[in-house]
Structure formats: C-alpha cells, structure tokens
Amino acid sequence: METTLIILKPDAVQRSLVGRIIARLEDKGLQVVGMKLMRIDEALAARHYADHRQKPFYPGLVRFMTSSPVVVLAVRGLGAITICRNLMGATFGSKAAAGTIRGDFGVSNSFNLIHGSDSPEAAAKELGLFFAPGEVVDYSRPGDAWVYDTTGGRPE
C-alpha cells in the first residue's frame, strides 16, 4: 500500500468542492488516513515548492497557496500515487479530460484545484512537511475486502 499527499488548494476550498473531491477519492476505494484544514504559511510553501523557486511562476504560486485555507490529506491504497494523479487529470483544467477532477471542475491554467505527490519519494517528503508523527493513522476497513481481491494471498 502506498500513502500519498493530496492538497485541496484554495480554489477547491473557496468553491466548496472539498466534499465532492474527497468523495471521488473514496469512491475509487482509496482510504483517507490523515486530513486537516490549514493555512499554508510562506515558509511551508517555500519548502514545499523549493524545486520551483527559480521559475517565473513561483511568486504567484506561493501567493495563491497562502491566500486561503487548504485541506491536506494523506491517502492510502494500492498504487495510490498513480490512481490519484489519474483522478486529478492534466495540470491545466482547460486541457484535463472530462471525468477527472480538474476536467470536471476546472478551466483555469493557474487555479488547478488539487496537488498530488508524483512519486513515492516525493510523497514521503511531502507527507513529512504537512503531517507530524501520529497524524497519519493506520486503521483497517472491513470494506477493503470488496476493494481489493485478496484470493491470491495479497491485495490486487
């Protein structure tokens, strides 16, 4: 099982899309194992987006991400990173396919509703930025027997 970071960005919060987006993740069979509403300050935004610091869009990105509350999630599932990124859709809402979060709810190339880690390494780093030890919770869900086929001895 993988655990990944998802951020529902200020536009998702301000547009009251949080519940609808979380429902899509859960409807797919993913498990929310951490969640909080928070304001990202400039220092945290700088750490999270450090790889983009020299890019021209960086100041606007930090301004956007610190402008309003966000919802951060730790989401777990088999192949969770790839599944979440597929559910999110292409980066720009105007180019995202219908049926994806960005394709159904977004049109902007700047306000793109959701962030998801792009690799296991990024997920580990990002989860550490947004969740303190103990804030990501392990728990079993009896319904997982209907999400994953375990007849072969391991979930698939």
Catalytic amino acids? Answer: 115
Distance CA 1, CA 44 (A): 27
State which amino acid sits at residue 151.
Answer: T
Burial class (CB in 10 A: 0-12, 13-18, 19+), 145: exposed
Question: Do 19 and 125 contact (CB within 8 A), yes or no?
Answer: no
For 78, phi then psi, to 5°, come to -70, 115
